Amino acid sequence: MIASLIQLRIFRNWNMWIDTFLLFVFFLFIAPLIIPRFLLIDILSWSIVVYGFSLLYGFLGYLSFGHLAYFAVGAYTFACTVRFLHIDPLLGIIIALLAGVATGALFGLVTVRKGGAYFALTNLSVSVVVYYIVLYFLKDYTGGFEGKFIDLRHGIIDLSSRETAFLAVLILFTLVFLFYKILSKSTFVLLLQAIKENEDRVKFLGYNTFLIKYIAFIVSTMFSALGGAALVLSHSYVSATTYTPAFNGEIVIMSMLGGASSIYGPIIGTAMYLGLKYVIGSYIIRWELVIGTILLVSMILAKGLGICGIFEKLLKTKIKLFGE
């Protein structure tokens, strides 16, 4: 059954490879001319988490209010293994990935049973517990509120320089994007969407819906953990302030802004949100007021669709932005 979920003939689809390559080239050469690289690296890192979130929200319709937990798990696993075990940061990234998988495997058993408020709040609970553990109980390792500086110099590649860190994060992002694209064309995602519509019907068809949801959850947490490692990579610093549970809403907004069910949605939503904060915050001290107003107004005007949703409407054709 698992094999049928991933149709390998996807790999022969040239369009997909070209799209991914173009995106990579775009971010490597063109985007830095428009967006400063230090902002771009943060956008790419955060968008990886938002991809993880959108997988669950966009396709399955399950809204998680606690993805910062998995973000934190990845970030701290990376930070602590690099700092205390003095391993190569590249290895650290892989370990962070595995930690994300493990966390998802653990909590997924319980969280994916139902959607709606149940899913949102069980994940929120995980986020709160993880936050306070890294803030205080594991403070000696994590640095807690103050945080810890991570020296990225020991390794095959010196990841402490701006250029290599950017390239590393960009590669991670591209891999995530590619994975997401492949995923979006598989029957797996079709099943997720079917479950979103009517789970019982899918069960009657003979599928183990719990297993499907479970796997989706693990992939989602894996992405989030990867995003966490990427963010530490971009700053050489990790601090619990980033993972305050109250900021879970930001991930939700970034996903919704871009349109949760399209492939480009997460990156666009993240770019918009962080870009907006960056630009407005540079001019106006009361940026919270302005951004709140902008979000409000744009949501009302956009009638609740993400940017990609609007685009689809604008071109008056249902352009399947994923799967071409």
Partner 1 sequence: MVRLTLFQKVVIAVIIIAVVVIGTMAYYFYYGPGAPRMPSEFKLGAVLDYTGVFAACAKAEEIGMKIAIEEINAKGGLFGRIPIVLITRDGESKPEVQIRRFRELVEVEKVHAALGTCHAGGAYSLMKESLTAGIPYWPSPVMAWEAFKKEERAPWTFGVWTPTWSVGYAMCYWAVTKLNAKNVYFFARTDAWGWGIRDGCKAALEKYGGTMVGYDEFTLGTPDYTPYITRMIAAKPDIIVSTTFGGDQVTFLKQAYELGLHKVAKIMVFTSHLVMKGIPPEALKDVYAVAAFYHDLPAGLVDDNTYKLIRNFTNKVKTMAGEPPDPYTVANYVAVLAMSKAFEKLGKIENIKPEEFEKAVMELGSIPTPKGELRFTKAGTPIYRYAFFLGIGKGPGERTYEYDYLNIIDVFGGEELLPPLKLLGYE
Partner 2 sequence: MDILILVRQTLYGFSIGVILALVSLGLSLTYGKMKIINIVHMLFYAVGAYLVYTSSIMVGNFWYGLLLSAIVCFGLGIINEQILKYLYGKSIEYTLIVTYAILLIGIDLIKFIWGVDFKAVRPPKELSWFIPLIEIEFYRIFVIIICIVLYLLTTLFMKHTMLGKVVTAFIDNDEHLQAIGINPRIATLLMYALGSALAGIGGALHAPLYSPYPYMASDIMMYAFATVVCGGVGSIAGTLLGGIVLGMGYSYSGYFQPYLSPIVVFLALFIILIIKPEGILGAK
Partner interacting with residue 249 (select from partner 1, partner 2, none; CB below 5-8 Å by kind): partner 2
Binding of partner 1 at residue 21 (CB under 8 A)? no
Question: Could you give the CA distance from residue 240 to residue 246 in angstroms, rounded to a whole number?
Answer: 12
Decide if residue 34 touches partner 1 (CB under 8 A). yes
End-to-end CA distance of the chain: 25
Kindly tell me which of 198 and 241 has the beta carbon lying closer to partner 1: 241
Q: Which is nearer to partner 2, 97 or 251 (CB)?
A: 251
Considering the rule CB under 8 A, would residue 4 count as an interface residue with partner 1?
A: no
Does the protein bind partner 1 through residue 307 (CB under 8 A)? yes
Binding at 208: pick from partner 2, partner 1, none (beta carbon under 5-8 Å per type): none
Q: Minimal distance in Å, beta carbon 110 to partner 1? A: 29
In this chain, which stretch among 92-100, 113-121, 143-151, 200-208 interacts with partner 1, using CB under 8 A?
Answer: 143-151
From the list partner 2, partner 1, none, pick the one residue 211 interacts with, judged by a Cβ distance below 5 to 8 Å according to partner type.
none
Q: Does 279 bind partner 1 (CB under 8 A)?
A: yes
- The candidate with the shortest Cα–Cα distance to 190, out of 5, 51, 9, 33, is 5
Decide if residue 320 touches partner 1 (CB under 8 A): yes
Cβ at position 116, least distance to partner 1 in Å: 31
* 146 interacts with partner 1 by CB under 8 A: yes
3-state SS of the chain is CHHHHCCHHHHHCHHHHHHHHHHHHHHHHHHHHHCCHHHHHHHHHHHHHHHHHHHHHHHHCCCCCCHHHHHHHHHHHHHHHHHHHCCCHHHHHHHHHHHHHHHHHHHHHHHCCCCHHHHHHHHHHHHHHHHHHHHHHCHHHHCCCCCEECCCCCCCCCCCCHHHHHHHHHHHHHHHHHHHHHHHCCHHHHHHHHHHHCHHHHHHCCCCHHHHHHHHHHHHHHHHHHHHHHHHHHHCEECHHHHCHHHHHHHHHHHHHHCCCCCCHHHHHHHHHHHHHHHHHHHCCCHHHHHHHHHHHHHHHHCCCCHHHHHHHHCCCCCCCCCC
Chain contacts with partner 2 (rule: CB under 8 A): 63, 110, 113-114, 117-118, 121-122, 124-126, 128-129, 131-133, 135-137, 245-246, 249, 252-253, 256-257, 260, 286, 288-289, 291-293, 295-296, 299-300, 303-304, 306
Identify which of residues 25 and 109 has a Cβ nearer to partner 1 in the complex. 25
Q: In angstroms, what CA-CA distances link 98 with 10, 179, 207? A: 25, 16, 27
114: partner contacted, choices partner 2, partner 1, none (Cβ within 5-8 A by kind) = partner 2
- Please report how close the Cβ of residue 19 comes to partner 1 at its closest, in angstroms: 7
Interface residues with partner 1 (CB under 8 A) are 15, 18-19, 22-23, 26, 31, 34-39, 42, 136, 139, 143-147, 149, 160-162, 231, 235-237, 239, 241-242, 264, 268, 271-272, 275-276, 278-282, 285, 287-288, 307, 311, 317-320, 324
